[in-house]
Amino acid sequence: MSYLDPAAALTCLDARSIRADFPLLSAPDAASLVYLDSAATTQRPRVVLDAEREFLERSNAACHRGAHRLAERATAAYEDARTAVAAYLGGNPAEVVFTKSATEAINLLAFSLGSPGTGADGLSIGPGDEVVLSELEHHANLVPWQELCRRTGATLRYIPVTADGCLDLAAAEQVIGERTALVSVTLQSNVTGAVTDLEPVLRAARRAGALVAVDACQAAGRIPIDVRALEVDFLVLSSHKMLGPSGIGVLWGRFDLLERMPPFLTGGSMIETVTLTGATYADPPHRFEPGVPPVSQAVGFAAAIDYLRGLGPRRVLDHEIELTRYALTELRALPGVRTLGPEDPARRPGIISFVVDGVHAHDVAQILDDEDIAVRAGHQCAWPLHRALGVTASVRASVHVYNGGEDIDRLVSGVRRVREFFAAQGFIDLEEHR
């Protein structure tokens, strides 16, 4: 499917009025703050904070426990949040598993699919099987699968990236083969911002009879997602990258697969019966949710989804494409500055990573912070990708609905000051890096 429709009419957002919805960004002492680190974590609008606070003040109790009215209200709030996430994804509530993060969701999937208990159902990954990832992946979609292969004897294979930091789709068709049991790839790179065209990957995976998992953490909240249209088997995302609370993520999975998978964590709530010698487990999604659930976080997550829906998914995407276009144009005009990722902003909405020649990324970020500009610097939890791109580290500016053109102007001015500062100290030659 196509995630981006360049022909769609642009109706961008009023970032200044939206910023007023975010207490941290609209506080008097934040007047000069330029927050460009939303790919790491987004800020939360007041409606999200209010939703959590109202739940805690009026309905706080352990859900799925007790028959008193507070427990019933908590249970209803939690399951309503699950329904909201399912509606956002185009799935069924029974297919939405709440986790503490997308990282935990991927670990859940890797542990369960690597468990011998799934073997009778043909889901268990083991010796002779291959797990295919890509060089684009965040460590969270890399290390859990490395551990699965270490435990089970399966083999890891990787789809390479192109020079502009996109998935090499021609190579994907070659890497995914008859021994492939699972393919797990990102929907949007957290470094290059590149949006993955899943169709060739899915085509090759289906030909091999392999499962397909998608890390949608960076895409969710900026690119509309429909799991039925995507035709994937599993998808993970995280609330804190969607204007919602931290401490809660989601594993979406096809119900017929979830009901064949053993649990990752065990304890209360996720059981059907328990004796002193064994237990049977509840149906999905509760099979994968032991212990007292994060109810207030789920309520806040649902409020964040409602807020994004109110802004309009297409308008959010248009807004991020236009800001990305502006940032890339201005940064590329600066001598000695190289941007990483696709040339076309519509293929990389919201994420702008770059390198300043002769200056380490951490030093760039430190000077920008002195200017009250918040960016990320380092390998962005994607060390292999940086090696593939031939850089040690990068600076990442990432925008969201509360950013406007003036924030990009501040960023560009700050980068210009970085070059001037290091030239004055004798570390770089402005003429050489022109």
Residues with a catalytic annotation lie at 381
Beta bridge partners of 339: 354
Cβ-based neighbours of 21, under 8 Å, separated by 6 or more = 45, 46, 47, 307, 402
Beta-strand pair 279-281/271-274: antiparallel
Supply the DSSP string of 17-82, one letter for each residue: HHHTT-HHHHSGGGTT-EE-BTTT-----HHHHHHHHHHHHHT-S-TTS-SSHHHHHHHHHHHHHH
Check if the beta carbon of residue 307 is closer than 8 Å to that of residue 48: yes
Supply the DSSP string of 69-137, one letter for each residue: HHHHHHHHHHHHHHHHHHHHHTS-GGGEEEES-HHHHHHHHHHHHTSGGGGGGT----TT-EEEEETT-
Give the per-residue SS3 of 299-336: HHHHHHHHHHHHHCHHHHHHHHHHHHHHHHHHHHCCCC
Question: Amino acid letter at 198?
Answer: L
Helix (H, G, I), strand (E, B) or coil at 15: helix
Check if the beta carbon of residue 383 is closer than 8 Å to that of residue 139: yes
Check if the beta carbon of residue 389 is closer than 8 Å to that of residue 340: yes
Taking CA atoms, 19 is separated from 24, 35, 157, 281, in Å, by 9, 11, 43, 45
Burial class (CB in 10 A: 0-12, 13-18, 19+), 280: exposed
Cβ-based neighbours of 107, under 8 Å, separated by 6 or more = 144, 264
Q: Within the chain, how many helices (H) and strands (E) appear?
A: 15, 15
Choose among 362, 357, 365: nearest CA to 337.
357
